[in-house]
Amino acid sequence: MTNPPSSTPKWTEFLWYMSGHGTYFFAMGIQSVVYPYLVTFVLNKPADMVGLAQMFSMLPMFGLVLFGGMTADRRELRMYLIRLQILAAVPIAALAALVFTQTLTFPLLILCNVASGGIGAFVMPARDSLLNRVARRSPSGDIGQAVSYTTGVQFGMQVIGIAIGRLVSMAGAGLMLVGVVFSLFVAAFCSTNLRSAPPGVPAKDESRNSGEKRWQRNLREIKEGLVEVRRSERMASVILLMFLGGIFVMGILFVLLQILIRDVYQGDIGDYSIIMICFTVGITISTTLIGRFFTIHRQGRAMMITFANGALVLTLIHFHPPLWGLYLLIFFWGTTAGITMSTSRTIVQELAIESHRARIMSVFQLGFLGGGPLGALLIGYLTRILGPLDAALLTAGGIALSWMGLYFLTNIWGLSRQPMAI
């Protein structure tokens, strides 16, 4: 006998999830070019101000992502995600209006991106928590494979978005931002085709703590997510690695390389967008290959080796390779970074318990994105003081010191794949 059609796992829902996921990050790809274009090439800000702008764009994620995880665990995720993606279009539409009316200033640009980043802090935990449920209902039911596929789609669609975004100097920033708004609406539409996803927190938990004030309950639930991560040495080590990676990756990609292209290679936004394309194509290729053909069992060693490759790439950049050599180095760095990102996310997804999954994934996001503002600020000042080539060498030394600290002070080198938590 066969199962009734309604209970047979199908790929339809997973494909709708992937479509919405990809469209959302397509919009983020365009935005990732338009924002630095406005800061670096339109407003013509120096390296430290570029770093400051990038720091403010990342700070909302750092400050709100834990609240985003706590909120997602108590919401029906399908409708919650739809509303968030529609809301995310509002600050982008406001920024487009400022560009069209030629009233854009540096403070207003910061304000729009702070609002956009704040909404993103609620989108990411909800999307990550929903992935686990959608993947379990797919025919394969393999979380690790689903994570690799979604990571590949995420960065693949970002590549396409960046490739389109590099036309910003010809098409205009306003038109590009309208495209971002439209893409966010499409992502919301894709989410309407997902199944209902009831809250992960049991109803009895609400009644047991009904005497609490709202702010007390919120803080308690955030603390519970942090405690779950702290109890797991595996998750804590992985998140520490991602925090350090966030410091270097965000600061290098969004500050140092922008100034390097502008001041050393005398390039423009088109050249910088090729840098972003090389990095994201590298991530897409490595994560797609992992999802399709490979299962990484010695996860800790894979992450540590690929993390160390950042130091090698930056050291070679210090010696001022030709522009095509720079592109190849960034592509190589992207392929190794994709292994780190996919593997670390798989570990946390597999270990997270259902009732706390969104909160635990928000801690994971905090680990990676929390290092971003610090990295953007520090590397921005280093780049202004030392110049981009010498700053690259000093940053390579920072990666090497971080690698040694992780090797000697954590258990991350010995991590291997374990059965998924139920």
Q: What gap in Å lies between CA 96 and CA 103, rounded to an integer?
A: 10
Best-predicted range by mean pLDDT among 46-50, 128-132, 270-274, 312-316? 312-316
Tell me the C-alpha distance between 411 and 422, whole Å: 23
Lowest-confidence pick of 107-121, 226-240, 323-337, 362-376: 362-376
pLDDT > 90? residue 312: yes
Average pLDDT over residues 316-334: 93
Average pLDDT over residues 158-185: 89
Q: Once rounded to an integer, what is the mean pLDDT over residues 86-102?
A: 93
User: Is pLDDT larger for residue 124 or for residue 183?
Assistant: 183
pLDDT of residue 82: 93
pLDDT at residue number 96: 93
Confidence of residue 214 (pLDDT cuts 50, 70, 90): low
209-228 average pLDDT score: 68
User: What is the per-residue pLDDT for 247?
Assistant: 83
Q: Which of 58-67, 229-238, 296-305 has the lowest mean pLDDT?
A: 58-67
| pLDDT at site 139 | 63
Confidence of residue 56 (pLDDT cuts 50, 70, 90): confident
Domains of the chain: 15-198+223-414 (1.20.1250.20)
Residue 207: pLDDT band (50, 70, 90) is very low
pLDDT interval class at 401 (50, 70, 90): very high
Q: Which has more pLDDT, 125 or 164?
A: 164
Question: What token pair was written down for 27?
Answer: 């919009």
Q: How many CB atoms lie within 10 A of CB 123?
A: 22
Instruction: Round to whole Å and give the CA distance between 13 and 141.
Output: 13
Is residue 175's pLDDT more than 90?
yes
Looking at residue 421, its pLDDT comes to 45
Q: What angle do CA 415, 245, 119 make, to 5 degrees?
A: 110
Q: What is the pLDDT of residue 219?
A: 72
Among the residue ranges 41-55, 224-238, 389-403, the one predicted with the least confidence is: 41-55
Q: Is the pTM of this model over 0.75?
A: no
398-414 average pLDDT score? 89
Q: How high is the pLDDT of residue 6?
A: 45
